[in-house]
């Protein structure tokens, strides 16, 4: 079973992501902020994917990424990280590591599965 | 000029240089014959004509004209008085031998003559008989009116000879004054045309500048609008997506009533959130268009509303709010609108204040007004930003450059709601005291609503 850490500042989104991904067969952990995410990462040993909200406050997605690289370089290197946002298109700096934020169950599960398969 | 002069001189063989050379070789002390004098004067008139066409101001030409004249038309003083609009300007020329008294006397005389010729003989010091003769030949002074077609008023040229002028002198002076008058006319027309061109050019430049500013403003407005629309669609999509996915989950597991109930609640709260966003946007547009937000006025305790709202906000932002001031401030206001005002000001104070710093909310009242102050410590808001902050889509530069999300309509709403109540909002931001948004509104807003 693949393990996912979802980080988002919206409690609703986190709740739904967890429910949908759990139903799809993933082990899901959640964090309501970047700071909480950094703390949880230290407790999680086998993490396959970090699903990261791009626009969070106070620490946004890219800021979280930098902090993670400093705090846990090993996790940063071996874990797949994908940004999610409610925009139509990915922000220019994360084109390869982006999926649309959850807005349809089937589309979301498909996007996550494809990203996990990609190298 | 007399016919005899024309007969004696062949105009086709006019060679002033040649004549000049002949003159210079002649005995300077020998008196001029009348023909020589006429020829000299014709030369002078020709020189004056050339001179006048080479400059663009009679002030520059006048002393040079008199220098040219002095050899064949000896003068003690010459004064040009010109009327330009409300101003009168005098140009004074004098020979080397003229005494200061002579110059002063000539100047006074010229001014009196000018006053007489322009119809303002107010000076009683001038005897009547003297005044009447001013326009004609005098013992020493000779005044010529300067009639200019393009100017409503005119000037005079006063010449002062060493003795009485004869008829030939008068003819010469007359010719001289006509040349000067024509030149003044031409200068005036040319100046008017130049001024017109300059004015037209300045108007064009100013129009161009205005257009450029308009384009820049429109461009800025467009950018603000585009970023606002992008943010709006992003923010609206989040609750709508949450509602949709919740509904899909209910479809998929209709057997679990508890989960279905929880999901249904999420649908309602997210749809309400989206609805509130649209209401905020419509109200902000109303304020921006100069209309008042619709109010539903009722009597309530403002402090209680502040307490309730802060309690809800503390659930999201933590215990960062301190409330102080009066426990009971009762009046007539719109409860729902003021909840939005408190939410907006307090959320901004958290968003832009220093992390973990406290936000102080004060409620007080005077005899006529209620006052709400929201204070936070954080980056100072520049004076420039303070002015534009209450406009729709405008967010301070600090807010724009940071990672904080915002539509830029919150403060527009705060202003709109407050003004609809007949109140006003003030903003103070200083290094030492931090930032304070102060909302003052009448205790009974029913009066201002009328």
CA distance B362 to chain A (A): 26
Instruction: Report residue B316's pLDDT band, with 50, 70 and 90 as the boundaries.
Output: confident
Instruction: Write down the pLDDT at residue B88.
Output: 83
- pLDDT, tens only, A40-77: 999 888 899 999 999 887 788 999 999 999 998 888 88
Most B-contacting residue of A6, A9, A10, A12 (CB-CB within 10 A), to test interface: A12
Q: Could you count the other beta carbons within 10 Å of the beta carbon of residue B220?
A: 11
Per-residue DSSP letter, A79: S
* Length of chain A measured in residues: 119
- pLDDT score of B133 more than 90: no
Once rounded to an integer, what is the mean pLDDT over residues B349-367? Answer: 90
Least confident of B100-109, B222-231, B248-257, B292-301: B222-231
Q: Which is higher by pLDDT, B127 or B37?
A: B37
Rounded Cα distance between B48 and B55, Å, is: 11
Query: Residue B12's pLDDT is what?
Result: 37
**Is pLDDT at B123 greater than 60 in this prediction?**
no
Question: CA–CA distance from B185 to each of A34, B153, B197, B302 (Å)?
Answer: 83, 12, 18, 78
Mean pLDDT over B77-95 rounds to 85
Taking CA–CA distances from A21, the nearest residue in chain B reads B249
Q: Report the complex ipTM.
A: 0.89
Whole-number Cα distances in Å, B369 to A77, B235, B330, B424: 61, 36, 10, 11
For residue B380, is pLDDT > 90? Answer: no
CB contact under 8 A, A20 and B245: yes
Q: Both tokens of residue B201?
A: 């050019």
Per cent of chain B over pLDDT 90 is 27
Minimal-distance CA residue of chain A relative to B406: A57
Whether residue B136 is predicted with pLDDT greater than 50 in this model: the reply is no
B422 and A CB contact within 8 Å: no
Which residues in chain A have Cβ-Cβ distances shorter than 8 Å to B266? Answer: 12, 15-16
Least confident of B50-59, B80-89, B308-317: B80-89
Supply the pTM of this predicted model.
0.54
What's the pLDDT score for residue B364? 95
Residues sharing a CB contact under 8 Å with residue B9, sequence separation 6 or more, in sequence order? B35, B39
Q: What percent of chain B stands above pLDDT 70?
A: 81
Radius of gyration in angstroms for the set of CA atoms belonging to chain B, rounded to a whole number: 44
């Amino acid at each position: 079973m693949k393990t996912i850490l979802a980080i988002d500042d919206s409690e609703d989104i986190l709740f739904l992501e967890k429910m949908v991904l759990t139903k799809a067969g993933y082990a899901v952990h959640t964090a309501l902020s970047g700071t909480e995410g950094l703390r949880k990462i230290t407790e999680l040993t086998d993490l396959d994917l970090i699903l990261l909200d791009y626009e969070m406050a106070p620490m946004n997605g890219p800021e979280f990424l930098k902090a993670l690289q400093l705090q846990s370089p090993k996790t940063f290197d071996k874990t797949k990280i994908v940004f999610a946002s409610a925009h139509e298109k990915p922000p220019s700096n994360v084109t390869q590591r982006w999926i649309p934020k959850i807005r349809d169950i089937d589309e979301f599960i498909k996007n996550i599965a494809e990203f996990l398969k990609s190298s | 000029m007399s016919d005899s002069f024309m007969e004696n001189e062949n105009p086709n063989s006019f060679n002033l240089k040649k004549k000049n050379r002949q003159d210079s070789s002649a005995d300077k002390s020998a008196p001029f014959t009348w023909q020589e004098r006429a020829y000299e004067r014709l030369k002078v008139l020709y020189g004056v004509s050339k001179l006048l066409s080479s400059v663009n101001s009679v002030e520059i030409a006048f002393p040079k004209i008199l220098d040219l004249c002095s050899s064949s038309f000896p003068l003690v003083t010459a004064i040009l008085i010109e009327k330009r609009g409300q101003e009168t300007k005098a140009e004074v020329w004098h020979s080397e031998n003229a005494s200061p008294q002579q110059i002063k006397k000539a100047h006074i005389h010229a001014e009196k003559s000018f006053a007489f010729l322009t119809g303002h003989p107010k000076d009683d010091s001038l005897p009547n008989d003297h005044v009447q003769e001013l326009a004609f030949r005098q013992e020493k002074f000779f005044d010529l009116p300067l009639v200019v077609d393009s100017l409503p008023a005119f000037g005079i040229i006063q010449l002062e000879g060493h003795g009485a002028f004869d008829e030939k002198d008068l003819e010469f002076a007359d010719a001289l004054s006509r040349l000067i008058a024509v030149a003044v006319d031409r200068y005036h027309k040319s100046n008017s045309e130049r001024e017109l061109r300059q004015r037209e050019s300045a108007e064009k430049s100013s129009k161009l500048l205005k257009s450029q500013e308009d384009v820049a403003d429109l461009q800025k407005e467009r950018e603000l609008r585009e970023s606002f629309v992008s943010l709006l669609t992003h923010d609206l999509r989040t609750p709508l997506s949450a509602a949709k996915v919740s509904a899909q989950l209910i479809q998929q597991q209709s057997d679990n009533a508890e989960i279905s109930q929880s999901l249904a609640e999420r649908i309602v709260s997210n749809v309400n959130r989206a609805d509130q966003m649209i209401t905020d946007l419509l109200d902000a547009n109303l304020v921006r268009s100069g209309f008042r937000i619709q109010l539903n006025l009722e009597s309530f305790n403002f402090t209680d509303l502040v307490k309730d709202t802060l309690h809800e906000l503390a659930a999201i932002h933590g215990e960062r709010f301190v409330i102080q001031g009066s426990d009971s401030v009762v009046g007539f206001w719109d409860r729902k609108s003021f909840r939005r005002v408190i939410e907006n000001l307090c959320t901004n104070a958290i968003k832009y204040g220093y992390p973990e710093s406290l936000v102080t909310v004060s409620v007080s009242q005077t005899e006529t007004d209620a006052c709400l102050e929201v204070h936070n410590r954080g980056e100072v808001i520049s004076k420039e930003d303070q002015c534009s902050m209450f406009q729709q889509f405008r967010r301070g530069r600090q807010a724009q450059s940071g990672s904080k999300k915002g539509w830029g309509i919150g403060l527009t709403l705060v202003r709109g709601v407050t003004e609809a109540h007949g109140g006003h909002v003030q903003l103070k931001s200083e290094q030492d005291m931090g930032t304070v948004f102060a909302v003052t509104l009448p205790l009974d807003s029913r009066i201002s609503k009328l």
